[in-house]
Structure 1
Amino acid sequence: MAQASIGDSEFDRGTAITLREPGVYDAQLSPGWTIMNVANGGYLLALMGRALGDALPHSDPFAVSAHYLTPSTPGPAVVRTVTVRTGRTLSTGQASLFQTAEDGREVERLRVIASYGELDALPDDVRTAAKPPAIPPLERCVGTDVGPPPPGDFSMLDRLAMRIDPATVGWAVGAPSGQGDMRAWFEFADGRDPDPYSLLLTVDALPPTSFDLGLKGWTPTVELTTHIRSRPAPGPLRVAITTRNLAGGFLEEDAEVWDSADRLVAQSRQLARAPRE
């Protein structure tokens, strides 16, 4: 099978938007990007990112913060954008995604505020103490088919080629480490290379760290903030996610995404509701 390209892949088709009028976009949320029959939060963030990238004078997401208000389901949706401010190097916008409920009411699913710029115009100077995650070679990591199949719908996993670090996959065979860590190699199943929009998905694509804490069930995102630091090089990504604190029924997940050139290309933090067993 030919490798999919940026702009012509299942991810691009699933996050496609159509301009209806200035600032208003129509979208079709794909059933192929769902977890437990609900659209994945990173998938939604990527779709919203496309709408803002089209509406704003700058094309690349730098900082994107989303509040998830109600679960999004496959089907028609409308994205409405507002330009908050435009400057020479950064522009800021706001976007909301709406779906029509069974009773005909329009329901807001999530709201995003984001700053956009031009990644290729950033200086090359890098001063960092961050190091790529120590993940074994891809061939020594474990596919998402390890262990018994999880109950419910996990359609999104069929569109990804993830290989999970064996040290963080014990939960799949009933032996979670309790550390709250998840690490994996990340690629699209159709071979599409990463770009800034796909990084918005990547930070929320791995199994939740709550699995490694010994919890089972849906871990819905309440808020997710993502920083895109650089345009990723072609090839597989390495993703490391950790949770340090679960309290009051909520947990945080801190993610780092590294590209094939050993550069930190994305960071995120999300607040999620802990599974209710």
Structure 2
Amino acid sequence: MTTPTRYPIMAIGGAEDKVGKLTILTAFFESAGGQQATIGIVPCASQEPSVVGARYYKIFTELGAQNVQVLDIRSPRECDENRWLELLDGCTGVFLSGGDQVRLFDFINNSTFMAAIMRRLHLGTLVVAGTSAGAAVMGEKMISGGSSGESPNRSLVDLMDGLGIIPELLVDQHFHNRNRMARLLSAIAAYPDKLGIGIDEDTCAAFRGDGTFEVIGKGAVTIIDPGGLTHTNHRLSDVTSPLSLHDLQVHVLSAGDRYNYKSRSICASVIEMTPSL
């Protein structure tokens, strides 16, 4: 029996399969230790944390996790309480649920709880997955809200600090399902030093800990790379005026594709499998 690939960080675009093959949730479960896993569910992004926590508790218990805990933190000040820190200390995997990314950020940013997660990630003793809001908070900067269906413009996206789990990225979720390309482009115009990553529903960017991620699930992961950006009118434009962005690079990745977000390049194995045109 081969050992499953371990993904230390998993960013899920939301609406992951919870009743069928559970491809993404199973990959998280296996990365966290499989039947030896202790999984902590953090549902505080949701306005109904008890409902959300119970749903994931049932899923991970039925998958066979050794222990599943719902870390039902109800206020920011609770993040410094020993009862939650002790439970976190025993976890091999933490799952950040969907909901409101601003609420999630407000609850756990600059907390002892978040510092413990970051320390464990650095030590390689914890797997962290976030879906929807839980994925949106992954970057140093995050999309906190906005609209869709227009040309890229400054009013289309609301931006704020994120948790910095993967600082280089600026993540959007429910991506093609909610027509958010223009929103992500607007965000990248504001922060052209970041790599834009749009994740579809039931799709995951599964980070391997070596500077690369692999796409899992039924949708696509869209990369907006502004590394070669030669011009944007972002700073001079009116709030609702269309934005100019020249010489962006775009990649659309599907299941099995791998990308190196450190070097900003498609992994060679994918290129080698591509037939000549």
User: What is the TM-score normalised by the length of structure 2?
Assistant: 0.24
Greater strand percent: which structure? 1
**Greater share of helix residues, 1 or 2?**
2
